[in-house]
Amino acid sequence: MLTKRINSPDEAAHLIKNGGIVAFPTETVFGLGVDATNTDAIKRLFEAKGRPSDNPLIVHVSDLENWSLAAAELTSDADTLLTAFAPGPITVVLPKRDTISSLVSAGLETIGIRIPSHPIAREIIRKANTPVAAPSANQSRRPSSTTWQSVLEDLDGRVDAVYCENTHSLGIESTVVDCCGSHPVVLRPGAVTIEQIRQLIPGAEELRVEANGAESTNQGRVNSPGLLHPHYQPRAAVQLVEVPSRQSLTLGDGVAYCGLLNFEGVDELTMTAVFNTVEEYAAGFYEFLREADRQAMSKVYVQVAPDVGIGRALLDRQRRAAAG
Ligand code: TXA
Ligand code: MG
């Protein structure tokens, strides 16, 4: 298959409407969009990404009023969160509407809904005039893509088109919040933080990871199978470091480092990125991992992000990247 390079929202919408798979920028990471009502397109999407069929997709709609295209009910917690944070980097999990194929929800009775704020994403979704299922635009297991070149690196020849425009993005996927229970549960941290959510809904919880890897909350086990699969992993081995130093790192050729702190000896590494703020670190993290692979690094030291604000989301991705 030839992957078209495009830069017209009309063309992207037309392709999606006709069963195509189109990568486009969002305010978090690039998404890989298909018509959520087209089961053949959904099947092709899972194949193109190499995505396990038990990992559900998020359905993207253009406006808050369109929640009913994918969900059977807008719970009051979801209403509160979407009113406050959408359009933006948040996904709410709601009871699924039965017109949405269970392929999209990976057999679950629930569906994740997101209203992106990125103008190109919104225009494409509005013009496609259908709910758009869009996972991150990367091969399954790999770091997400924040540039169209990275999308092509993973998916050239496997998808119908890539929208070729790089815009500044948060660099970390949306906050996923289960809104089906007695109180909201954050399943995946993102740019909308637990602190922000608790200001509106004080009883909101976060998923707990137990020693055996099982994830649970006060409401019991949570069904988000996607969390169990490997994610965000480059080919290079990733090792987390608290405070980098000449003593704590093995310096040398083929070794990379990224973090917020500089240290003596950093010049002896092949590849380094020292970010000024945690926001810049989050925005540049996946691309750094990808660049480490392009330069055939064998090891990447990753300084752990501070566990607050968007740092908490970055830390979650760092731990998963290092779990390979
Ligand atoms: O920022 C984002 O959310 C990006 C952009 C493209 O919108 N999309 C994205 O999709 O990150 P994906 O497929 O890479 O990640 C979706 C996550 C997975 O962890 C999946 O398990 C979870 O959302 N998820 C989706 N539907 C769910 C559901 N019904 N219940 C629980 N978790 C769900
Ligand atoms: Mg993903």
Q: Determine the pLDDT at residue 226.
A: 66
> What span, in angstroms and rounded, lies between the C-alpha atoms of 2 and 267?
42
One digit per residue, the tens of pLDDT, for the chain of length 324 reads: 899 999 999 999 999 999 999 999 999 999 999 999 999 999 999 999 999 999 999 999 999 999 999 999 999 999 999 999 999 999 999 999 999 999 999 999 999 999 999 999 999 999 999 999 999 999 999 999 999 999 999 999 999 999 999 999 999 999 999 999 999 999 999 999 999 999 999 999 998 765 455 566 655 555 666 667 889 999 999 999 999 999 999 998 999 999 999 999 999 999 999 999 999 999 999 999 999 999 999 999 999 999 999 999 999 999 999 997
> What span, in angstroms and rounded, lies between the C-alpha atoms of 305 and 316?
9
Name the residue type at position 284: G
Token output for 320: 């998963």
Q: Is 117 in the pocket of ligand 1 (CB under 6 A)?
A: no
Parallel/antiparallel/unpaired status of strands 299-303 and 237-241: parallel
Question: Would you give the DSSP letter of residue 268?
Answer: G
What is the 245 CA–ligand 2 centroid distance (Å)? 32
Q: Which atom of ligand 1 is nearest to the CA of 89?
A: 1
Q: Is 49 in the pocket of ligand 1 (CB under 6 A)?
A: no
Q: Determine the pLDDT at residue 213.
A: 56
What is the 264 CA–ligand 1 centroid distance (Å)? 40
Q: Determine the pLDDT at residue 14.
A: 98
Q: Are 96 and 111 in contact (CB under 8 A)?
A: yes
Q: What angle do the packed helices 9-17 and 119-128 form, to 10 degrees?
A: 40
Give the DSSP letter string of 64-109: GGGGGGTBS---HHHHHHHHHH-SSSEEEEEEBPTTS-TTTTTT-S
Protein residue with its CA nearest to atom 6 in ligand 1: 31
- Global pTM reads 0.96
| Cβ atoms < 10 Å from Cβ of 210 | 8
The ligand that comes nearest to the alpha carbon of residue 141 is 2
What is the 59 CA–ligand 1 centroid distance (Å)? 9
